[in-house]
Structure 1
């Protein structure tokens, strides 16, 4: 007989523990296993007569546990009397998979809907559903629609056009919202920043340098939330299995970059397979880009894509993709082969397989700026803008050619103007804050995130950048901590280069 894949062979002691006592599979009871098994796989357990006795899910770090002969190897989901494990002669369809798991999917749906309703009953804030056109946000939208329409509670669908979305996604979102009869409940916002112009300032985005999300996506969302009163509940399709950071975040969290937003994920504990089966059960139209092989739907310049997806993006986007890679190559001084390998997707913390050849790209200028402690400021308006931003952190005394900064009535820095440059003498722990403030004053990309964040309406947008009203500002500092230029200025050599030049 043909042997099915993903098997684990156990001894009689483990068989008794599973079938009689209903316990999970532990390392000492494993005699052999299929070499193709990976963490998170569903497997079937066989006894010494090669009879199937249970099915379960492989635990994290199972290979190390096996080598140490201790720890749980598989979480047993179901067990039964021993019987032959056979490969089905007929291939199952997705419809068969949905039918086989229908009761489980309905249970997951009820649990998510109850969670959504309980959260909304505790708050009178407006409700948004963030929809990107991907599978996770679609599942979340369907769940929120069912949960809140049954309560008679109003909600809005929020879509952000970053300017670097796939054209297929834009068209799909219009179609699916029309099919779900949610056109009148849709809020569409667009990025205030041209991604490719911001690229000249920040440099190419990377997995560990994602300035693009803050400037092109979160800023217009923050502005939309401010227009709704400054507070809202936002349902977002995030799942704990996507990353360690999201696992730590939990199913409910407060926005760091977007003030006033409480993020909620009703599919936080769902697996990718759970999401797909649920969408198949609902029979909704899916984004056509999935059928072209993309695993995740987002911006087409996203550094989170893998190498296979890069090939697919090349086919979809064409000349624009080639132009983007050329710009990346020139900006980071990468060879053609390094670009093909996707080394641009990391800047500071490359994966282990890449660390042996890690390049410390473009750090010289940032280090030079840190040591020299002087920047060029040619225009008087730029200097005034710098002082207005420093006033959000310190008490500022302008005495003509010299500016003194006070923190709790103690002098911590002196800025001296010499023609077209400023010499900064500051305590080391304050120098970085002053540098960030200088970058914010001179390299503003007009993303509007600070404008949406300020609780006192003290920020105005000018042609050359922002201006802080000293009469309205209470020096809370919120506008600084939500500014992408402030956050990334110490990591972006392109910003350092601009300050030097």
Structure 2
């Protein structure tokens, strides 16, 4: 959770790691704990959330390299690391022997993986590849970025298809390339091969067989230091709040598992909380129960039951930018559990990491959760990378979720819109009944919304507002897809202004509106009502005024509490108008002109200068969208 004045940032460029050639493993600390080597530096794309390549992914890579180059064996027994980079779907840099040899990509249209060969991969495979190698005459000028005509091809090792990665030999140069046409058409093509990058000299993959225990051994001092700091931070805070009970948020994922190891050393007395969204993988629920029982800790389950299926018809499929399911299936059950079991509050240790997403890039060690009353969150591994987490888990010999051995990078709800298409393909193989139930619903929903089947087939449903990469995909496959999902604006009153258990009155409703802008714009517009606190991750914004409290959620849910029914209704109307204005603003500038304090600027919708805004409401009164509020919203 963060104050609205904070700006979330993320890392770009390159990140440097080190590789010990003697011990054939990654070095995370100052030196290798086995041989004392400081390591050879190599770089990966930022933010550099490097992770080990586990068994299923290793087998996948062997299949890929065999398909293109006929040589899978060079990967046997060696340590491989993956580094997630931006892409249409799954995109991972492949690190072998301390060098990025390629990029593993999942192609949504073909529903399969492909390889983009990097120059170090070409240099390493040039002599051992049984296919995918082309020798050409040396052209004039520079090679990088050049398209080579078929007449310059001297010989080829094996056959290839269009778009296959190639190793191109040109005199003393070794190049990574791509086939523009199939090998049987190459001789007659003016653009037979594209050159991506150019280098000199062969590389030899050391091929030293190293299990992951070797990686842990080489970095044991580093992991001890990581643990010591995290344990110290947690202990220090818990000692300052000795009267508050301690809990661990245990999702069944690797990050919460690492936090278990830390908390077990920092405090022997704590309970584990598992939020069962009703959409968990069977492997996850079984793993969580088994782990807690084996370790002898109390497991508290916040159960959403059928909350998702009871609400999906009204809200529609959740999307990356429309995550109503988080409130219904996570925050709701969690709030109820904490209010019931910890009425005076709890300190919860969570495995949030800054490298996971833009939304988490600025998390602090201590976070007050304004949306779950009386919960203080500690984030002891916030600065850890994925490779730190895995090394720590192996060092502490902690049993992890078996799904990680099945090509899953992250583990959450099985139908989460944030999951990759590659992971969804795996889910269909592992759990055909669960996946077919969801796909059946999606196709029926798409038909009702007059969407083509491709809207579901290629995963366009996962966004309310399509990002550029998905708009490009739609253009590439020549289908007409609306940029914004065609959900109409409707308002459903969940509960009228009724007496609240905590005192005063409360009112709840849901406004269904097509999302044209991010949730941050909703939070921005709510600044016209009062000071805003919001969460990017859970898409929740809260305003406290002298008359009451307003909470607006990313799914359009609005909850208002106030001292009287009239003020409750007034605050609710203000919240709905702010929501509509944030999404339907035409940037006409009327509000800017009507603001005497010059507190509004336009930048893809209004931007509110909090230090100038007096919350007078004149901008709302002047807005055409707010004026026709009762016409825009269907009850």
TM-score (ref. length: structure 1): 0.59
Once residues 376 and 187 of structure 1 are traced to their aligned partners in structure 2, the CA distance between those partners, rounded to angstroms, is 33
Deviation at 1:222, TM superposition (A): 1.0
Match of 2:247 in 1: 128
Give the 5 Å matches for 1:214-253: 214-227=327-340, 228-253=342-367
Match of 2:259 in 1: 140
Aligned Cα RMSD in Å? Answer: 4.6
Candidates 475, 479, 482, aligned match of 1:359: 482
Deviation at 1:500, TM superposition (A): 3.5
Structure 1 residues 386 and 363, CA gap change in structure 2 (3 angstroms): farther
Candidates 311, 317, 320, aligned match of 2:425: 311
Once residues 581 and 295 of structure 2 are traced to their aligned partners in structure 1, the CA distance between those partners, rounded to angstroms, is 43
Once residues 489 and 218 of structure 1 are traced to their aligned partners in structure 2, the CA distance between those partners, rounded to angstroms, is 26
Give the 5 Å matches for 1:58-457: 58=44, 60=46, 87-123=205-241, 124-149=243-268, 154-182=269-297, 185-191=298-304, 194-227=307-340, 228-332=342-446, 333=449, 334-348=451-465, 350-354=467-471, 357=474, 359-363=482-486, 365-366=488-489, 385=496
Candidates 2, 14, 17, aligned match of 1:42: 17
**Conserved? CA contact 1:240–1:250, under 8 Å:** no
Once residues 580 and 281 of structure 2 are traced to their aligned partners in structure 1, the CA distance between those partners, rounded to angstroms, is 26
Structure 1 residues 174 and 497, CA gap change in structure 2 (3 angstroms): farther
**Conserved? CA contact 1:158–1:186, under 8 Å:** yes
Identify unmatched segments of 5+ residues in structure 2.
1-12, 22-37, 49-202, 475-480, 508-521, 527-541, 543-547, 549-557, 585-629
Give the 5 Å matches for 1:450-469: none
Deviation at 1:473, TM superposition (A): 8.3
Structure 1 residues 309 and 122, CA gap change in structure 2 (3 angstroms): same
Structure 1 residues 345 and 468, CA gap change in structure 2 (3 angstroms): closer
Deviation at 1:176, TM superposition (A): 1.0
**Conserved? CA contact 2:506–2:560, under 8 Å:** no
Once residues 201 and 497 of structure 1 are traced to their aligned partners in structure 2, the CA distance between those partners, rounded to angstroms, is 20
Match of 2:77 in 1: none
Deviation at 1:324, TM superposition (A): 1.2
SS for the counterpart of 1:91 is coil
User: Larger relative CO (CA 8 A, sep 6+): 1 or 2?
Assistant: 1
Structure 1 residues 488 and 55, CA gap change in structure 2 (3 angstroms): farther
Identify unmatched segments of 5+ residues in structure 1.
1-37, 47-51, 63-84, 370-374, 395-428, 434-449, 451-455, 457-465
Deviation at 1:359, TM superposition (A): 2.2
**Conserved? CA contact 2:561–2:568, under 8 Å:** no
Deviation at 1:156, TM superposition (A): 1.1
TM-score (ref. length: structure 2): 0.48
Deviation at 1:317, TM superposition (A): 2.3
Count residues with an aligned counterpart: 349
Once residues 631 and 244 of structure 2 are traced to their aligned partners in structure 1, the CA distance between those partners, rounded to angstroms, is 44
Structure 1 residues 45 and 314, CA gap change in structure 2 (3 angstroms): closer
1:6-50 deviation digits (Å, cap 9, x = unpaired): xxxxxxxxxxxxxxxxxxxxxxxxxxxxxxxx844636699xxxx
More helix by share: 1
Structure 1 residues 171 and 342, CA gap change in structure 2 (3 angstroms): same
Once residues 580 and 248 of structure 2 are traced to their aligned partners in structure 1, the CA distance between those partners, rounded to angstroms, is 29
Match of 1:27 in 2: none
Deviation at 1:393, TM superposition (A): 8.6
Once residues 488 and 325 of structure 1 are traced to their aligned partners in structure 2, the CA distance between those partners, rounded to angstroms, is 31
1:446-491 deviation digits (Å, cap 9, x = unpaired): xxxx9xxxxx9xxxxxxxxx999988989799x979x99x989998
Once residues 563 and 470 of structure 2 are traced to their aligned partners in structure 1, the CA distance between those partners, rounded to angstroms, is 54
Structure 1 residues 488 and 133, CA gap change in structure 2 (3 angstroms): farther
Match of 2:41 in 1: 55
Once residues 393 and 175 of structure 1 are traced to their aligned partners in structure 2, the CA distance between those partners, rounded to angstroms, is 41
Deviation at 1:376, TM superposition (A): 9.3
Structure 1 residues 253 and 355, CA gap change in structure 2 (3 angstroms): farther
**Conserved? CA contact 1:314–1:322, under 8 Å:** yes
